Chain A
Amino acid sequence: MPFLLSSRIQKSVVLVAAVAVLIVAVVASILLGLQNFRFSTAVEAYVSFNGSNEHLIIKNARVPRAIVAAFVGGSLAVAGALLQALTRNPLASPSIFGINSGAAFMIVLSLFLFGPVFSFTELMWVGFIGASLTAVMVYMLGSAGRGGMSPVKVTLSGAAVAAFASSLTSLLMLIDNMALEEALNWLIGSVSGRDLRHALLIVPYLVCGWIIAWMLAGSLNLMSLGDDVAKSLGQKIVWVKAGIVLVVVLLAGGAVALAGPIGFVGIIIPHICRYLIGYDYRWIIPYSIVFGAIFLVAADLISRFLLMPKEVPVGVATAVIGVPFIIAIVRRKAHE
């Protein structure tokens, strides 16, 4: 099948160009906003820091924000690509699997039961556990019954699990106001106001996830031929699947822990990548990282300007961009 970019050289050139675009986007995200800065000011903030307001904003607000957006975007996109390969379902993505609301529910539940005694790192792990439990539950519900797993069953059970989790979450929050304040970060998807130290705590896990994903790419290519073919070609299916699930939980859980529920990145980006370069996962993984990062940094930049001086949570922007996209996918595929 012909794709936009067929030869190796073309793919490499576009990937390098995309990295350049990502750098430009990150720089724009650091410089533009309610206050615009010059590039030289941003450099000075690190070279000769003088404690002025501008330098403080750049160091404590803008730079963490751009970094978080880039890493979360890339991770969500890779998680989406892996889920789509695992389930052979074009709509699979972290948000469809209800992972976000599961993580939020676990965090609120533990705050409710034990009070605000957790450090950020511990809450992050709680979020991880919630995310993985929900993912497994939706996967099982979606493949229950006759006919095995189908896109519509996974989507609907994801929606139902998410509705269930969020109704329990709001119940707990209404009973206990303390939990509400602490949990708010995880309920509204946003990349602003994140502490750089917390971000740097999670980034290594995300990068690990990317590397494992890339190492699995060859196996993913064989998996997409179907379980039987992959098995006959010497793949240890169970181990590969377990590896995929581990990476997804690592990436999606880490992204939620860092930025809260940000939907649709995991659906849109892998589709765009496949449209560009075809079905070779050795290319899809790096493309997803870079394009996901560009997408979220840009969406964050746009949502900053929508209602100036107020900020729109970036999750809103990705949802509004994402829905027409999903409708197009659903209409194109025959799901009957």
Chain B
Amino acid sequence: MGLPFSFQDDFGRNGAPMAKTLGPVKRKFSPWTDPSAVPFIRFENITKRFGNFTAVDNLTLDIYEREFFSLLGPSGCGKTTLMRMLAGFDEPTEGRILLQGKDISGVPPYRRPTNMMFQSYALFPHMTVEKNIAFGLEQDKLPKGEITARVEEMLKLVKLEQFAKRKPNQLSGGQRQRVALARSLAKRPKVLLLDEPLGALDKKLREETQFELMDIQHTLGLTFLIVTHDQEEAMTVSDRIAVMERGVIVQVATPAEIYEAPNSRYVADFIGDINIVDGTVKKTDSALGAPGAVTIDCGGLTFAAEQECQAVVGDNVAYAVRPEKVRISPEQPADTSVNAVNGEVWDIGYLGDFSVFIVKLDDGRVMRAAQANVSRLVDRPITFGDRVWLSWPLDAGLVLTR
């Protein structure tokens, strides 16, 4: 008794049930690996030009039913244009968009079974929260009773029951975001489009809302397409992510694959923190396309990675390794012939959960290693100016051919 922590209430005293109940446990979901699965949305050779500028360039993409799909990329990469074409605000210059197998080109936005949550929320300032949520339902000429019931259900879903009579300018940012979500969900769209939905929220609220979004998507069984430039957000919420650059998709994969097996320098660099060095292939242990070790010469240092070989000896490639996979130690590792470098601690970034060590190698190059702060030591054993060894296993490294 008398513990000063609040989790006591959540877990309950004397074996009482947890205060917060969660839905059914999520199952593994991967229709994209099933060759017989029919895509729910299909972008087919889509090109969109605005004058001389090509926003989307001959892009093909399949999205499956009930998927939480992210379009991720820097601003101007064409992700918002792609979403707006699905909503019907822009028409593709070339190619077509299929929704459940039907071409939706030329269908105006007010007849499409998609709804969008806008980046600015676009709440109607002259209507109450209630009226905002009811707006879409009124357009469908649903009976009054049904509209009221649906609005109540939505208000409950986003926990805003007591704010029904408020106008949008009487709400905080987080509340507005929920109203926008409720309004776009009210019509039970086949696809919900979310344009940078959490961009205007502060970090803590954003993280909470990410999990709420996932819950709502899972409970309602809808297909969500989200546009974001925030890689953490995309990683957290998505089933799959499409990383875009200048109108084309660079990689489509699950968050784990994108992070652990990026297919290019661009993706590796865009997602998370990574050390990347240029080098040439010195030796391959297996034939092209087969798994095996690839050894790279990076200006005198020898790095190797265990992966499917995509290069031949002499190719110019990049070698990459994530900082958290690099071990930092004052002692020399047993094998220093490969994936081991020696240097001096140049800077330390203390992030609370992690510390990032920036190590200056003897040839002047810089590598980063991250270490989880598992103990509550305030004084770290490794500090500025220390000589250290960085090492990592074969399967931690990556050889990037493009």
Q: Do A and B come from one complex?
A: no
